Amino acid sequence: MKFLDIHLEGMDDAGEKLKRILEENIPVAISVCPGTLRERGIYSEQYPYLPKHLDLIGEVVSRRGNILGQQGNMHKCKHAHRFVDPWHENYCLYHRPISTEEQRELMEKGKETLIKLLGKSPEMYAPPNHLWDFITLKIANVMQYPFFAIRGVKTNEPLLYERDGVNTLVLPEVKINENGHFHYIHYDEIEKNQEAFEGVLKNARSFRNIGIDFSMREKYFGKSYKINPKPLARDLETIRKNGTAIIIKKLWRDIKNFPRRVLE
């Protein structure tokens, strides 16, 4: 079984791929950076076409079986970065952790934008650049996002995070050509990964069926969908280890790219 999350940032067509998803009724998640949808924002020149497709995007994410994902608010760090990747928002590798208040504010602002422009509340939180900390996860849980997408490094299985009776499933995403259940791809990278993309599409399932598809109805939702009283300790430990692995992976990426960025 496969689950597909399309990160809608750069578009290399006039929405044909989105129209195909509608016409063939393919169950997907569409994860959007709210800042790219604003007509007079920092991305107005970089992504001028996204605001033109609001109706189409809204129709796709509102189709039964599909869900809307939220990639932060602006998808860019509040700190200036000259020689390293700046496209994170909830967690910065080179500065102190972003406070609960700041993260909550950016997540709420982004959510309000998606509701206003697409007419639907996001159901999945996808931290920009897959960088996050437990503050991020806690806020997503408090804001009652059913799903939280992370980069899958140490696990392929859905994990449970629960606080105060609110349940959030942590989904470890892998690239379209990697082994796993939860795949992600950037919209403008679909054509160069067409074969792998078609393979995932052929077996794509709705995110709403995750508990059922993994035979975890009782594990994650309890009998008759009653919330389990507390998260499994092994799930929390796996989430923590996976988060550490992501940080190491991103640090190594910045180290490798440092010479090129200096020359630029």
Average pLDDT over residues 106-122: 97
Output the pLDDT for position 228: 43
**pLDDT, tens digit (0-9, with 9 covering 90-100), for 184-240:** 999 999 999 999 999 999 999 999 888 666 655 455 444 433 434 445 677 889 999
CA–CA separation, 261 vs 254, rounded Å? 9
Output the pLDDT for position 89: 97
Q: Which has the closest alpha carbon to 57: 25, 31, 85, 90? A: 31
Residue 55's pLDDT band (cuts 50, 70, 90): very high
| Crossing angle of helices 100-118 and 54-62, rounded to 10° | 100
Q: Is the pLDDT of residue 151 over 80?
A: yes
Q: Is the pLDDT of residue 47 over 90?
A: no
Range with the poorest average pLDDT among 1-5, 97-101, 191-195, 259-263: 259-263
Alpha helices in 24-99, H assignment, sequence order:
54-62
**C-alpha count within 13 angstroms, C-beta hemisphere, residue 4:** 25
Output the pLDDT for position 166: 80
Question: Domain boundaries in the chain?
Answer: 3-263
| Helix, strand, or coil (residue 12) | coil
Q: Is the pLDDT of residue 155 over 80?
A: yes
Q: Enter the pTM of the model.
A: 0.91
What's the angle, vertex CA 10, arms to CA 5 and CA 57, rounded to 5? 60
Mean pLDDT of the chain: 90
Range with the poorest average pLDDT among 4-13, 57-66, 158-167, 212-221: 212-221
Could you tell me if 233 and 54 are in contact, meaning their C-beta atoms sit under 8 angstroms apart? Answer: no
Output the pLDDT for position 215: 58
Q: Which has the closest alpha carbon to 21: 200, 210, 209? A: 200
Q: Is 44 or 35 the better-scoring residue by pLDDT?
A: 35
Average pLDDT over residues 80-104: 95
Give residues with Cβ within 8 angstroms of 60, minimum separation 6. 18, 21, 22, 28, 30, 66
Q: Give the amino acid at 88.
A: H
Query: Which CATH number does the domain 3-263 belong to among 3.40.50.300, 3.20.20.370, 3.40.605.10, 3.40.50.620?
Result: 3.20.20.370
Could you tell me if 104 and 49 are in contact, meaning their C-beta atoms sit under 8 angstroms apart? Answer: no
Residue 46's pLDDT band (cuts 50, 70, 90): confident
